[in-house]
Amino acid sequence: MIQKPKGTYDVFGEKGKTILYIEELLKALMKQYNYEYFRTPLFEVSELFHRGVGSTTDIVTKETYDFKDRGNRDMTLRPEGTAGITRSFVENKIYGNASQPVKTWYYGPMYRYERPQSGRFREFYQFGVEVFGSDSASIDAEVISIAVNIYRLLGLKGIKVNINSLGDTESRDNYRKALKEYFRPHLNTLCEDCKQRFDKNPLRILDCKIDSNKEIMKQAPTTIDYLNEYSKKHFEDLQKYLKSLNIEFIVNPKIVRGLDYYTHTVFEVEASIKDFGSQNVLCGGGRYNGLIEQIGGPSINGVGFALGLERLLAALESENINLIKDDNLDIYIIPMSENELEKVFSLANHLRLNGFSTDIDYMNRNLKSNFKQADRLKSKFIAIIGEEEIKNNKITIKNNNTKEEYKIDIDKIIDFLDQNCN
């Protein structure tokens, strides 16, 4: 038997209905925020991710799916969404649009070759937003509010935001020097990855999972101590705007995020989820004021976040949140014989086009078996069409809850369902 690849999963049944519900909620919310949908290729030239995500990140050094195409070009399955959206923004010269800032959203599969574990897969779905063109901390707050409101709308409790600032280039450079001075005498106590990060990107040492509990990590300098006046003002403004939105936040100097392109705001959103332990973080993001230039565009600012669908599904399951309140079928139509199937087939199509979920018997079942099938489909109404119904242009309809029966003109079935299907 052929099985699915390691680190992937199939979607069907209740999980499929839940995912479709979430997708519809995301689309509706993005319309309310006036964000535009972007879709980029599943694979891009490898250089994009080396430049955009950062050559020192674990994603690029350890986790990307890389391959050569038939033209001997280096290609990579996208491991995250920001680099591709930014490339599209630059390549299509969207920075020239009169309407600024440019507010975008995306949703789709990503690929990372990592060890599969709970909530982590090699193929996973990611939703994210990216905003280009504004340096105001107010747009940072708006981006954070989108993430917070998604989780609130889905019914998760105890939503709070951890925020930090990496500052502008000057602040970050000063902090980088301070970190190197701090860690230099302790290099021998760090893991091999951190020893390599020391020269390439010392901020990544703070994101290490192996050394995270060591005292040396807990005592490390914080980014906030090295912010210049402009960066301090930006961070203070962010906190002011978050308060105006009634979003609970904690200033957490330990947040640096795992990607190389962040500047100023970085944040993570968490919720109170039983059985998640200390891993309650559901999504994260931040500002990346130099990324567009790295990818070959003009000097334009950006900010965004991404959330993983799989982690969200795990959180909803852990909290016993059922999003599917009514997945009942509106009407199930039973032909008494094959002679009525053509009429039933036509009527079902008419009902579907008028907005009613409809199914019919395709298996030539007897009446008793069809009633059981209607129950399995949770059909609100059952319609029966036989020779007599066709002759008199009537239809017999049964309310599957109250068991009441009605005889109505077939031409009036739309009106009947409009009044009785809530």
Within the chain, what is the greatest distance between any pair of CA atoms? 94
In a domain, 212, yes or no: no
Pairing state between β 381-385 and 358-360: unpaired
Cβ atoms 122, 283 nearer than 8 A: no
In a domain, 383, yes or no: yes
Dihedral, CA atoms, 239, 242, 247, 250, nearest 10 degrees?
Answer: -20
Q: What are phi and psi of 354, to 5 degrees?
A: -100, 10
In a domain, 3, yes or no: no
- Burial level of 21, CB count in 10 A (0-12/13-18/19+)? middle
Say which amino acid occupies 256.
V
Cβ atoms 82, 94 nearer than 8 A: no
Q: Give counts: helices (H), strands (E), the chain.
A: 15, 16
Q: In 271-404, where do the E strands start and end?
A: 281-287, 302-308, 331-335, 358-360, 381-385, 394-399
Domain end (from 273, 294, 318): 318
In a domain, 273, yes or no: yes
Per-residue model confidence (pLDDT) at position 257: 65
In a domain, 204, yes or no: no
Per-residue model confidence (pLDDT) at position 278: 57
**CA distances (Å), 190 to each of 151, 184, 198, 208, in order?**
37, 10, 10, 10
Find the helix or strand (DSSP H, E) in which 46 lies.
helix 46-49
In this structure, the answer to whether residues 307 and 393 fall within a common structural domain is no
Cβ atoms 162, 187 nearer than 8 A: no
In this structure, the answer to whether residues 271 and 412 fall within a common structural domain is no
In a domain, 134, yes or no: yes
In this structure, the answer to whether residues 313 and 390 fall within a common structural domain is no
Q: Which of 220, 229, 218, 135 is nearest to 185 (CA)?
A: 220
In this structure, the answer to whether residues 53 and 155 fall within a common structural domain is yes
Report the C-alpha gap between 272 and 147 in whole angstroms.
Answer: 15
In this structure, the answer to whether residues 308 and 336 fall within a common structural domain is no
In a domain, 189, yes or no: no
In this structure, the answer to whether residues 278 and 411 fall within a common structural domain is no
Domain end (from 318, 344, 362): 318
CATH of the domain at 53: 3.30.930.10
Give average pLDDT by consecutive 10-residue segment, the chain, 422 residues.
95 95 98 98 93 60 87 95 95 93 98 81 96 96 98 93 93 86 82 79 76 78 91 97 96 76 89 76 90 91 95 93 89 94 95 96 94 96 94 93 93 94 78
Model-level pTM? Answer: 0.88
Domain end (from 297, 318, 339): 318
In this structure, the answer to whether residues 314 and 347 fall within a common structural domain is no
In a domain, 194, yes or no: no
Per-residue model confidence (pLDDT) at position 60: 63
In this structure, the answer to whether residues 35 and 116 fall within a common structural domain is yes
Per-residue model confidence (pLDDT) at position 14: 92
252 phi-psi bin (left φ>0, alpha ψ -120 to 50, beta other): beta
In this structure, the answer to whether residues 237 and 353 fall within a common structural domain is no
SS3 156: coil
Which position has the token pair 């090699």?
122
In this structure, the answer to whether residues 49 and 128 fall within a common structural domain is yes
- Burial level of 362, CB count in 10 A (0-12/13-18/19+)? exposed
**Number of structural domains, the chain?**
2
In this structure, the answer to whether residues 408 and 386 fall within a common structural domain is yes
In this structure, the answer to whether residues 301 and 349 fall within a common structural domain is no
CATH of the domain at 358: 3.40.50.800
Domain of residue 101 covers 13-168+228-318
